[in-house]
Chains A and B, each alone.
Chain A
Amino acid sequence: MRILVVEDEPKVASFIRRALEEESYAVDVCTDGIAGLDWAQAVDYDLIILDLMLPGLPGVEVLKRARAAGVKAPVMILTARSEVDQRVKGLDAGADDYLTKPFAIEELLARARALLRRAGGAPTGILRVDDVVLNPVTREVTRDGQRLEFTTKEYALMEYLMRNAGRVLTRSMIAEHVWDLDFDTFTNVIDVYISYLRNKIDKGRERGLIQTIRGSGYMMRSDG
């Protein structure tokens, strides 16, 4: 899951990024409205967290233009003002949720999960493929009741595959949603991580859940 954070106050952006990264999301940060709008259109983000008070271009304007340009990602607005009209303007401009500063970090993460869940179409949030169960809240992954341990990046890749079970995911899609801007697409990092995952979930089983689609990418599927 890749998230764009548009926030001008560097320290606020910094702790939001670290909190999200700890939850194994890939995070990009923009510090002004114009860059935020560019990035929102250039990358297919799973969630955009947008401050309303931005230099360059006000947050509401960023949101309107992004929506007009066809950006479908859920948007959570942050506002320092608790004034109702700001929130109403933001929601009317196409925001899906809002949070007023100062906010609790757990609330930010829970709302982010909720927005991602709604976008993914899984109402409870718990993802299942065959006997593999992934809980995004606790970030626990089990297969056949057996708990599996993942690193942050492995987990992020696993969640992305499971959310899109049954769909072919190209390497560039995986790169875009699991890794952030610093990712170098010319390496075989994705293949390496896929092999890590296979080692952990498919080891010792006849049929692997993660399948290689030749020439395209990968897919997670239960029916083998």
Chain B
Amino acid sequence: MNSASIRVRLTLWYGSALALILLLFAVALYLVMSRALREQVDASLDEAAAVAIRTLGEHRFGPFLIFEDLSQDFPEIALLDKFFQIFGPAGQVTIQSSNIQSREIPLSQSAFRASLEGQSTFESVQFKKGVPLRLLSVPIRQGEQLVNILRVGTSLQPTDRMLRRLLVGLYIASPVALLVSLLGGWFLAGRALRPVHAITQAARRIAAGDWSQRILTPHSNDEIGQLASTFNDMIGRLEVSFKQIRQFSADASHELRTPLTITKGETELALRRPRQAEDYRAVLESNLEEIDRMSRIVDELLFLSRADLGEIKLKMVPVQLDDLVREIQQQAMVLGMDRHVQAVLNAVEPVLIQGDDLRLRELLLNLVDNAVKYSYEGQTVELALVVEGSHAKIMVRDHGIGIAPENQARVFDRFYRTDEARAHGAKGTGLGLAICKWIVEVHHGTIELDSTVHGGSCFTVFLPLIPARA
């Protein structure tokens, strides 16, 4: 669903709800208004009837009531826009006000019957070709005797006209109000959805490869703002990992291309012209060395990618770490023989930990191999294993080229090699320490580096001991 259709739907929902409310309001208003007007008319009829009866009473209900006299005595009656009729006890008109003129407005049966029983009656009537009327019939009695029936009437035309005007007003005003609200709703929905639109646009640009895109979040506390900042965070993290992957593959291709360049160059050079047997031999030896280097890079890369995917299964068993360290020291002696580097054991305490024997061996071998490689000739590599608190502490110290402080954090990065390490000439893949770090971490341990340039490096590994059982 794109934002436009949400906008349409929001506006339609909003519009329908508003239309319903307007309709109910209009109906209610009309009903209340017409009722109020009717009551007002009835009240005025009541009042007029009361005035007329009072007047008649002053004339002692004489049968010859002259209406003109009445209006002279009570000018307000004439102004009341009402007509009066007085019926005899049999229901016949005896007298009526002049504003009725020649129209005949007879007493209805029901009103007459009610009058006989001494009750007033309100009626609404509509004669053919006449105006709608509201009539009030009031019996005038002396004792139990019905003397006369007074009827007061008035036209309902003004009331009806007012109601019609109200209806017309509602007919016009409601759609206008609805339209204005719809436009407002459309505008507001668009405004509310604009950040969503911005997010979509940004996501689209990011999909096209522009990782620098971010969404502006001026109102960072509302729901959309939270979505936008969450989105920004996600893009930030994606950008970092994307860059890491790109750096990683650039590094990997560089590391693989160097041995390829060498084997290709050496081989082509050898083939340019006939050479001595020993020259060919030298080329083959060099090529073999580079092929070994490439296969080591490929193996280690494969290991690390399997480790990333969690495919490396560890066989956790109790490992006697002191035995392992002694073995590693023996191997370090062999490794250091060419460069007259001695491996010495400074301290070994009996330590038992839970771990994968093979991986721990690999970890320590990597560390002593590095120590030997980057030692100055004739120096010593020192190994130590002690217990410190709840951890086994293994130290591998060399006296070699060392690592500058600004590079120390990066030596565990894949393919990262310091310029000094490259210049030192020792063939490394740049992956050894990344593997070491992984092995330490899967054993819930930590690895630390302490190093000074030309002063040598000391790698310290802390591995948790098996908790002593009481």
Q: Which A positions have Cβ atoms within 8 angstroms of B?
A: 8-12, 15-16, 18-19, 22, 31-32, 53, 55-56, 80-83, 101-106
* Contacts A55-B419, A55-B422, A55-B423; A105 near B265 (Cβ below 8 A): yes
Instruction: List the count of A-B residue pairs having beta carbons below 8 Å apart.
Output: 67
Most chain A beta-carbon contacts within 10 A, residue among B257, B260, B420: B257
Write the chain A residue with the least CB distance to B421: A55
A15 adjacent to B265 (CB under 8 Å): yes
Provide the bound-state CA to CA distance between A10 and B265, in Å.
13
Task: Collect the chain A residues with CB atoms within 8 Å of residue B291's CB.
Answer: none
Chain A min CB distance to B425 (Å) = 6
Give Cα A56 to B250, complex, Å.
20
- In the assembled complex, 9 residue pairs joining A and B whose CB atoms fall closer than 8 Å, in A order, are A12-B258, A32-B419, A55-B419, A55-B420, A81-B250, A82-B253, A101-B261, A105-B272, A106-B272
**A58 CB to nearest B CB, Å:** 11
Taken together as a complex, chains A and B put the C-alpha atoms of A55 and B264 apart, in Å, by 23
The answer to whether A32 and B265 touch across the interface, beta carbons within 8 angstroms, is no
> With an 8 A cutoff between CB atoms, is B277 at the interface?
no
Q: Tell me, rounded to whole Å, the shortest Cβ–Cβ distance linking A106 to chain B.
A: 7
Q: Which of B265-320 contact A (CB under 8 A)?
A: 265-266, 268-269, 272-273, 286, 290
Contacts of A12 in B (CB 8 A): 258, 261-262, 265
Give residues in B with beta carbon < 8 Å to A.
Answer: 250, 253-254, 257-258, 260-262, 264-266, 268-269, 272-273, 286, 290, 419-420, 422-423, 425
Q: What residues of chain B lie closer than 8 Å to A105, measured between beta carbons?
A: 264-265, 268-269, 272
Beyond A81-B253, A101-B261, A102-B264, list 8 extra A-B contacts (CB 8 Å).
A8-B422, A16-B265, A19-B269, A80-B261, A102-B257, A104-B268, A105-B264, A105-B265
Query: Across chains A and B, which 8 residue pairs bring their CB atoms closest together, nearest first?
Result: A55-B419, A102-B261, A105-B268, A101-B261, A15-B265, A102-B264, A80-B254, A102-B260
The chain A residue sitting closest to B283, CB to CB, is A15
Inter-chain contact B419/A15, CB cutoff 8 Å: no
Contact present for A101 and B419 (CB under 8 Å): no
Find the A residue at minimum CB distance from B254.
A80
CB < 8 Å neighbour of A9 from B250, B253, B258, B272: B258
**Nearest Cβ distance between residue A10 and chain B, in whole angstroms?**
6
Q: Is the CB of B425 within 8 A of A10?
A: yes
* Given contact pairs A19-B269, A55-B422, A104 touches B264 in the complex (Cβ within 8 A): yes
B330 to chain A, nearest CB (A): 31
Q: Tell whether, in the assembled complex, residue A15 and residue B423 are in contact, meaning their CB atoms are under 8 Å apart.
A: no
The complex places the Cα of A56 from the Cα of B257 at a distance, in Å, of 21
Secondary structure call for the B interface: helix
Interchain CB contact (< 8 A) of B419 among A19, A22, A56, A82: A56
- Give Cα A19–Cα B250 distance, bound, in whole angstroms: 28
A103 adjacent to B261 (CB under 8 Å)? yes
Q: How distant is B254 from chain A, measured CB to nearest CB, in Å? A: 4
Q: Flag if A22 contacts B258 (CB, 8 Å).
A: no
> Which B-chain residue is minimally distant from A56 (CB atoms)?
B419
Q: Which residues of A contact B290 (CB under 8 A)?
A: 11
Q: Are B272 and A22 in contact (CB under 8 A)?
A: yes
Complex Cα–Cα for A38 and B269 (A) = 29
Give the shortest distance, in Å, between A25 (CB) and chain B (any CB). Answer: 14
Q: Which residues of B contact A101 (CB under 8 A)?
A: 257-258, 260-261
Q: Which residue on A lies nearest to B419, using beta carbons?
A: A55
Q: Which residues of A contact B423 (CB under 8 A)?
A: 8, 31-32, 55
A10 CA to B423 CA, complexed, in Å: 9
Q: Within the complex, which residue of A32, A80, A103 is in contact with B253, where a contact is CB–CB below 8 Å?
A: A80
Contacts of B420 in A (CB 8 A): 55
**Are B254 and A53 in touch, CB under 8 angstroms?**
yes
Which of chain A's residues have a CB closer than 8 A to the CB of B265?
12, 15-16, 19, 102-103, 105
Write out the residue numbers on chain B whose beta carbons fall within 8 Å of the beta carbon of A103: 261, 264-265
Residues on A with beta carbons closer than 8 Å to the beta carbon of B266: 11, 15
In the bound complex, residues from chain A placing their C-beta under 8 Å from that of B422 are 8-9, 55
CA distance in complex: A103, B260 (Å): 9
- With a CB–CB cut-off of 8 A, which chain A residues contact B257? 80, 101-102
A55 to B424, CA, bound (A): 11
Q: How far is the CA of A105 from the CA of B272 in the complex (A)?
A: 9
Closest residue of chain A to B427, judged by CB? A11
**In the complex, what residue of chain B is closest to A100 when comparing beta carbons?**
B257
* Separation of A11 and B266 alpha carbons in the complex (Å): 9
CA distance A49 to B269 in the complex (A): 17
Q: How far is the CA of A101 from the CA of B257 in the complex (A)?
A: 7
Provide the residues of chain A in CB contact with B258, threshold 8 Å.
Answer: 9, 12, 80, 101
By beta carbon, the residue of chain B nearest A109 is: B272
**Chain A residues with CB below 8 A from B268, complex form:** 104-106
Q: Are B262 and A9 in contact (CB under 8 A)?
A: yes
In the complex the two chains form, what is the Cα distance from A11 to B422 in whole Å?
Answer: 12
Output the nearest chain A residue to B417 by Cβ-Cβ distance.
Answer: A55
> A56 vs B419: C-alpha distance in the bound complex, in angstroms?
7
Q: A55 vs B423: C-alpha distance in the bound complex, in angstroms?
A: 8
The distance from the CB of B25 to the nearest CB of chain A, in whole angstroms, is 67
Docked Cα-Cα span, A16 to B265, in Å, equals: 8
Least CB separation from A31: chain B residue: B423
Question: CA of A201 to CA of B67 in the docked complex: distance in angstroms?
Answer: 159
Instruction: Decide if A18 touches B269 in the complex (CB within 8 Å).
Output: yes
Q: What is the distance, in angstroms, from A108's C-beta to the closest C-beta of chain B? A: 8
| Nearest CB in chain A to that of B286: its residue | A11
In the docked arrangement, what's the CA distance between A30 and B293, Å? 24
- Per the bound structure, the CA–CA distance linking A195 and B261 in Å amounts to 41
Residues of B within 8 A of A19 (CB): 265, 269, 272
What distance in Å separates the Cβ of B337 from its nearest Cβ neighbour in chain A?
Answer: 23
